[in-house]
Amino acid sequence: MNRKKGVLSNPVDIAYGFNDFFISVGPELASSINGSDIDPSSLIKVMNRKKGVLSNPVDIAYGFNDFFISVGPELASSINGSDIDPSSLIKVLLINGVDRPFASPAADLMNEFLINALKIFHDTVLVLEREDGTVCELYDMMFTLKTKLQQRQSDGFFGAQTGVLLQQFPDRQAAVLREDMCNFYQSSLTYLEQRYDFSDSNYQKKVASLALKKSPFNFSHLCEAVEVLQLSKKLDMDALYDEYCVVLPHQQAIVQSGATVVEKWATLLKHTHTPNMTALASFLLSVPITNASVERVFSLMTGCWTDTRNRCSVNLIKSEIQVKSNFTFSCKDFYTYVVKEKVLLNAVRSNKKYKFRKKPEDAGEKV
């Protein structure tokens, strides 16, 4: 059971394999142990899913792993004169490729269910880790995840393939399996509600209207955003209203476009003199929604500030990271862009970019 050796490859299959094993041979195994401090009967009770105790296969799999690491040798040595071969229990772990002689139909069903259900979380994580994700979209992302789980729980939907496999079980066992899968949905919803604020007081819900996705925003939405972001002392609210009136006619067309939130705001504020609204948008769109962007910066920093470049200035590393983070040009596109920028080319050739280099007129000497 030592997962450190990489044998524990499928926790769900292992959990149900152990369950079936102990239901069938547990009583005889318990009676064959004499003079041991181990109480296998308590372990058997935990594994009896017919009593509705099995609610988390993964936790049970790891629980068995820890149990056998600590008491396995003593348990094996205490079995005398029994017809049970303890090595058959270990064979449950030897599930290789397609050949799975010890896998049970219940394990296959639960594995299929987890593949289907966990995809919801995987898709949400991918959306959250996008580089163009904004705090304006965060509440809708989390609310969508919650709604999907609630709908699946309400409809009793566990995946099409899971539904096909479920029909192969007797009614009583199928009911227990459905209850286990519904408990998974309920546990997930409880976890979400404990760790994310879905109430109306969440500031992320109050700025969601500024995502320009479903409908244009009004001035009250801007005022609410200014309040929750505590920017009222830094912005001129009267001027902000005038700026709102300037961009109002262009909102509907931008909402209907398929651009990202950042691109929509860039288009909305382009060619307009709206300093207050620009400051609000800049602040709002600068708030990271996950630590993924920070982790990316750490990775870029490691690549830029190496042992062989340890004398680089902070400003140089900062500039390199900004370029790598914001430029998405291919080499060909970047070359086409640069050759047209004469000011940039002159700056590259000039010594002005080196602040530590003395200028001839300042030093009074030739360089």
- pLDDT tens for 42-80 read 544 444 444 444 445 555 555 555 555 555 555 445 444
End residue of a domain, out of 164, 195, 226: 195
- The answer to whether the beta carbons of residues 256 and 216 sit under 8 Å apart is no
If asked whether residues 224 and 255 sit together in one domain, one would say yes
pLDDT given at position 349? 82
Would you say residue 17 has pLDDT above 90?
no
Per-residue pLDDT of 269-290, as tens digits, reads 998 999 999 999 999 998 888 8
In terms of residue numbers, what domain contains 148? 105-195
pLDDT given at position 258? 85
| pLDDT mean over 325-349 | 86
pLDDT given at position 98? 37
Chain-wide mean pLDDT for the chain? 78
Share of the chain above pLDDT 90, in %: 45
If asked whether residues 259 and 183 sit together in one domain, one would say no
Which positions ≥6 away from 56 have C-beta within 8 Å?
Answer: 187
358, part of any domain: no
Would you state the structure tokens that stand for residue 325, as one six-digit string? Answer: 């983070």
| pLDDT mean over 265-270 | 93
| pLDDT mean over 122-141 | 91
- The answer to whether the beta carbons of residues 240 and 273 sit under 8 Å apart is no
| pLDDT mean over 342-360 | 72
User: In this predicted structure, which of 6-10, 180-184, 249-253, 320-324 has the lowest mean pLDDT?
Assistant: 6-10
Rg (CA), the chain: 31
| pLDDT mean over 155-176 | 93
CA distance 150 to 338: 52
End residue of a domain, out of 261, 285, 309: 285
If asked whether residues 170 and 133 sit together in one domain, one would say yes
pLDDT given at position 214? 87
pLDDT given at position 359? 52
Would you state the structure tokens that stand for residue 10, as one six-digit string? Answer: 């499928």
252, part of any domain: yes
More confident residue, 127 or 25: 127
If asked whether residues 191 and 111 sit together in one domain, one would say yes
Per-residue pLDDT of 188-206, as tens digits, reads 999 999 999 999 999 999 9
User: In this predicted structure, which of 28-42, 105-119, 137-151, 265-279 has the lowest mean pLDDT?
Assistant: 28-42
pLDDT given at position 350? 79
136, part of any domain: yes
The model's confidence at residue 116, banded by pLDDT at 50, 70 and 90, is very high
The model's confidence at residue 7, banded by pLDDT at 50, 70 and 90, is low
Would you state the structure tokens that stand for residue 7, as one six-digit string? Answer: 């044998």
Would you state the structure tokens that stand for residue 123, as one six-digit string? Answer: 């898709």
Count of domains for the chain: 3
- The answer to whether the beta carbons of residues 291 and 161 sit under 8 Å apart is no
- The answer to whether the beta carbons of residues 17 and 60 sit under 8 Å apart is no
Q: What proportions of the chain, in percent to the nearest 5, are helix, strand and coil?
A: 70, 0, 30
Strand partners of residue 79: 33
35 residue type, one letter: G
335, part of any domain: no
pLDDT given at position 5? 46
pLDDT given at position 345? 87
Measured from the Cβ of residue 332, the count of other Cβ atoms closer than 10 Å reads: 8
pLDDT given at position 73? 52
The model's confidence at residue 149, banded by pLDDT at 50, 70 and 90, is very high
Long-range CB pairs of 266-269 (<8 Å, 24+ gap) are 268/212
Would you say residue 36 has pLDDT above 80?
no
CA distance 47 to 55: 10
Measured from the Cβ of residue 239, the count of other Cβ atoms closer than 10 Å reads: 13
The model's confidence at residue 97, banded by pLDDT at 50, 70 and 90, is very low
Would you say residue 220 has pLDDT above 70?
yes
Where are any strands of DSSP class E within the chain?
Answer: none
CA distance 142 to 204: 10
Strand partners of residue 265: none
If asked whether residues 190 and 227 sit together in one domain, one would say no
336 residue type, one letter: T
If asked whether residues 111 and 152 sit together in one domain, one would say yes
124, part of any domain: yes
311, part of any domain: no
If asked whether residues 188 and 261 sit together in one domain, one would say no
If asked whether residues 114 and 191 sit together in one domain, one would say yes
Would you state the structure tokens that stand for residue 339, as one six-digit string? Answer: 């050759």
CA distance 62 to 288: 35
Measured from the Cβ of residue 149, the count of other Cβ atoms closer than 10 Å reads: 19
299, part of any domain: no
Would you say residue 35 has pLDDT above 80?
no
pLDDT given at position 21? 61
Cα four-point dihedral sign 171, 172, 175, 177:
negative
If asked whether residues 135 and 81 sit together in one domain, one would say no
Picking from 122, 114, 91, 96, the residue whose alpha carbon sits closest to that of residue 165 is 114
pLDDT given at position 12? 60
CA distance 90 to 242: 74
The predicted model scores a pTM of: 0.62
341, part of any domain: no
Would you say residue 127 has pLDDT above 50?
yes
The model's confidence at residue 20, banded by pLDDT at 50, 70 and 90, is low
For 96, phi and psi rounded to 5 degrees? -115, 120
Would you say residue 118 has pLDDT above 90?
yes
| pLDDT mean over 240-259 | 92
Would you state the structure tokens that stand for residue 257, as one six-digit string? Answer: 């476009």
Would you say residue 358 has pLDDT above 60?
no
If asked whether residues 10 and 49 sit together in one domain, one would say yes
pLDDT given at position 4? 42
